[in-house]
Structure 1
Amino acid sequence: MANHKSALKRIRSNETKRLRNRYQHKTTRNAIKKLRESDKKEAETLFPTVVSMLDKLAKNNVIHKNKAANLKSQLAKHVAAL
C-alpha cells in the first residue's frame, strides 16, 4: 500500500481516469456498431459525431492515432458505399 499522500492521490486519480477512458471507449465502440448497422441517411448524420469521438480518444491516448485513422477510413468507405 502507498505510504505518501501524493501516491494515494495518484491512485485515486488513476482510477477516475481509467473509468472515464473505459466509458468513452465503450460508448465510441457502440456508436461505431450503430453506424455500421444503420441505413444511408442515418449513417451520414452519425458519421461526424463518430469521427469526433475517435479523434478525442486518440488525442487522449485511449487509442492509438493510427487506429483512429484506420477506423475513420473504414467508416468513410462504408458510408460512401451505402
Structure 2
Amino acid sequence: MANNKSAEKRIEITKRNRLQNRFYKSSVKTLIKVFLKDLESYKLSQDLKDKEKVQKILSSVYSLIDKGSKKSVFHKNTAARKKSQLSGYLKSAE
C-alpha cells in the first residue's frame, strides 16, 4: 500500500503503462498470427487479391510495431527484427 501521494501516483502510472504495453504486445502477436495464416493461403493460391490482403496486414503490423517502439513498448532493435522477419516471410512466399 502506498504511504504518500507520489507513491500513489507511481502506482497509477505503472498501471496505465502496463495496460498500454499489454495492448501493443498482444495486438502485434495477434496481427502476426493473422498475417502468417493469410500468407499460407497466398502461398497456395498465388492470387493477386491474397497478396494485396497480406501486404495490407503487413503494413498494419508495421504501423503497430512502430507506434509501440515510439512509446518504448518494444526496443528499437526488437521492432526492427520483427519487421525484418515478417518481410522475409513475404519474400520467401513470392
TM interval, shorter chain, is 0.7 to 0.9
Q: Please, what is the CA RMSD of the aligned residues?
A: 1.3
1:11-42: CA deviations, max 9, x gaps?
01211210121012101110011111113332
SS at match of 1:62: coil
Q: CA deviation at 1:81?
A: 2.4
What 5-or-longer segments of structure 2 have no aligned partner? 43-50
| Residue pairs, 1:45-60, within 5 angstroms | 45-60=56-71
Partner of 2:4: 4
So what's the TM-score if we normalise by structure 1?
0.88
Q: What is the CA–CA distance in structure 2 between the aligned matches of 1:36 and 1:43, rounded to whole Å?
A: 9
Is residue 42 of structure 1 aligned with residue 53 of structure 2? yes
Runs of 4 or more above 2 Å deviation: none
User: How many residue pairs end up in the alignment?
Assistant: 82
| Percent identity between the two aligned chains | 38
